[in-house]
A and B are shown apart, each in its own frame.
Chain A
Amino acid sequence: MRYVLIDRCLELDKGVRIRTVKCVTRGEPFLRELDRYPPTLVLETLLQTGAALARVTAGGDKRSFLGKITEAEFPAFAQAGDRIDVLVEAIQSRPDGTMLHGEARVDGALVGRAEFMIGFLPAELVPAPDPKADERRRLTRKAIGLPPVEEA
């Protein structure tokens, strides 16, 4: 769970939008010697949130990957104790990928914004099923509150 940077999914409208929350705590290894939460991790939360939306929208046993980040800005920093509210919306969806726009806010103030592309691996590149990893992913999704991925 260490590198899952979403604490909870609040809303997922398949193919349209997803809202998640990431709470920043002093106990995180990234904050042991820093006052400011690294913007790259805000970006990672945006990307993980977008990938979750794209994955649920696509269904089946697809594997997603980050294709491109076409725009990104981080006008302010989050700090320990902050709750980061994330909203990611699909701009364009195709069977082989999705373009998304996401914003991360703390108390309404923008701390991160990005436009990015999530692609799906062609079927021949999808690794063979790994029951242990699949179960780990299923439990993680359940813990976050993400809906199960439907069969294609």
Chain B
Amino acid sequence: MEDNEIISKVTECVANALGRDEEEVKLESVLSRDLEAESIDYLDITFQLEKAFGIKIEKDELFPQKIFQDARYVSDGVVTADGLAFLEQKLPYADIASFRVDPKVTAVPNLFTVSLLVNYVKTKIAA
């Protein structure tokens, strides 16, 4: 599947799940901050992606919950080196390089962009 087709389908899935116009959904859009996604919307997006691409998304695979339960991963509200390594392992399709610049734990939700979804789908399809 061509990249443009993947982007187009992911955009449609996100727009459907969040009740948005497709024009509002950009690659760089953060699901929570820019598109006001709430917790139940992540489940809806998962359903939409599974249906659109015929893929199986395991629980916590795309939107892992309780990422930082381990105290080693966060110190004074900042993600530690161990935490960053954990993030890279858990979310290999996220832009961790940009996150490293100012790795506040409160910024973790900003990793979940439309671009992350596109990269995730590409990885799944290629697998």
A27 within 8 A of B: no
Residues on B with C-beta less than 8 A from A122 are 65
A99–B47 CB distance below 8 A:
yes
B50 within 8 A of A: yes
Interface segment, A15-23, A75-83, A88-96? A88-96
A99 to B65, CA, bound (A): 21
Chain A residue with Cβ nearest B56: A94
Q: How large is the interface on A (under 10, 10 to 19, 20 to 34, 35 or more residues)?
A: 10 to 19
B43–A92 CB distance below 8 A:
no
A112 within 8 A of B: no
A119–B43 CB distance below 8 A:
yes
A117–B40 CB distance below 8 A:
yes
User: Which B residues, 107 to 125, have Cβ-Cβ distances below 8 Å to chain A?
Assistant: none
Give the residue of B43, B57, B59 whose beta carbon is less than 8 angstroms from that of A67.
B43
Chain B residue with Cβ nearest A98: B47
Residues on A with C-beta less than 8 A from B40 are 67-68, 117, 119
B95 within 8 A of A: no
Q: How far does the Cβ of B83 sit from chain A's closest Cβ, in whole Å? A: 21
19 contacting pairs across A/B (C-beta < 8 A): A67-B40, A67-B43, A68-B44, A92-B47, A92-B50, A94-B46, A94-B50, A94-B57, A94-B59, A95-B59, A96-B43, A96-B59, A97-B43, A97-B47, A99-B47, A117-B40, A117-B43, A119-B43, A122-B65
